Amino acid sequence: MVDIVQLDESLQLLNGLDESKRNIIVESIQRNNQISVFAYGSLLWNPIKYAEMEQNCILQGYKKGFFCEDFFYRGTFERKGLTLGLKEKSDSYVHGALLIAKDDKILDFLKAFAERETPATQDGRVMDIYKYDFIEVTRSGDGTPVYALTCIVNEESEFCVDIPETIKGQVSKMSQAEGRNGTNFEYLFSLAAKYKELNIKDTFTPTLDELCEKARLYQLPL
């Protein structure tokens, strides 16, 4: 049985979860003995170790894009990279996967999730590009609804990109960015490779294909 006090403390690490939302999540964990996270970016190819992955689920009413400036994993404060985030959009959908932690792994999973998705530098700069919500996604196979913690763009963050640059502008910015996890282009190509492996296709697919095409051309010698 998960300790309720520790569980609530772990959930408080996730920006955007007020007391009522945390109570809903706690009740869900007590009922199901598990917690799910909707994965649509680097969590797909570099998942948190305390969880199992269940492929193929759909989040309706959101759009995916490079809305997040990254000065930690794929960039620096001087040359920020771009990573994925979600914003609400009624006519869009996001294809992803579920990371599911169960029983005695739940607390460790939540703490690792918070630390990874809201990192801080040694001088105290917090990359608060996400807020978190507990929203319904649908399993593609049988249409079963599942509630999952999901990283949504924190539009109050200074690192939120309100209106993404052109494809050319995004690629240009990515080309100059490298952080502790590697270059921004490595992130882009890893994302595309994992999407191909898992057959992930959604309303963002044409944009991703174009970004990769332009990035490959950008890498060609003059």
pLDDT tens-digit profile, the chain (222 residues): 788 999 999 999 999 999 999 999 999 999 999 999 999 999 999 999 899 998 799 999 999 999 999 999 999 999 999 999 999 999 999 999 999 999 999 999 999 999 999 998 888 889 999 999 999 999 988 999 999 999 999 999 999 998 778 999 999 999 999 999 999 999 999 999 999 999 999 999 999 999 999 999 987 664
What is the C-alpha separation between 169 and 175, in angstroms, rounded?
10
Residue 221 has a pLDDT of 63
Do the beta carbons of residue 102 and residue 152 sit within 8 Å? Answer: no
Question: Which pLDDT does position 114 carry in this prediction?
Answer: 96
- Could you tell me the two tokens for 122? 């040694």
Cα torsion angle, 151, 152, 158, 163, sign: positive
The residues, any chain, with a CB within 8 Å of residue 27's CB and separated by 6 or more, are none
Which pLDDT does position 102 carry in this prediction? Answer: 96
Tell me, rounded to whole angstroms, the distance of Cα 109 from its chain centroid.
15
Nearest by Cα to 190 from 166, 172, 203, 174: 174
Overall size of the chain counted in residues: 222
Domain that holds residue 167: 4-219
Identify the three-state secondary structure at position 92.
strand
> Which amino acid, one-letter code, is at 204?
F
**DSSP at 211:** H
Alpha helices in 37-90 (DSSP H): none
Q: Total domain count for the chain?
A: 1
User: Please, are residues 109 and 7 in contact by the beta-carbon 8 Å criterion?
Assistant: no
> Three-state DSSP class for 33?
coil
**For residue 111, what is the domain's CATH number?**
3.10.490.10
Q: Which parts of 74-207 are beta strand (E)?
A: 81-102, 130-139, 145-153, 178-179, 182-183
Q: Give the model's pLDDT for residue 163.
A: 76
Q: From CA 80, how far away is CA 95, in angstroms rounded? A: 26
Count of other CB atoms within 10 angstroms of residue 51: 24
The answer to whether residues 37 and 51 touch, using CB atoms and an 8 Å cutoff, is yes
| Predicted TM-score of the model (pTM) | 0.95
Q: How far apart are CA 21 and CA 27, in angstroms?
A: 10
Report which residue type is found at 20: S
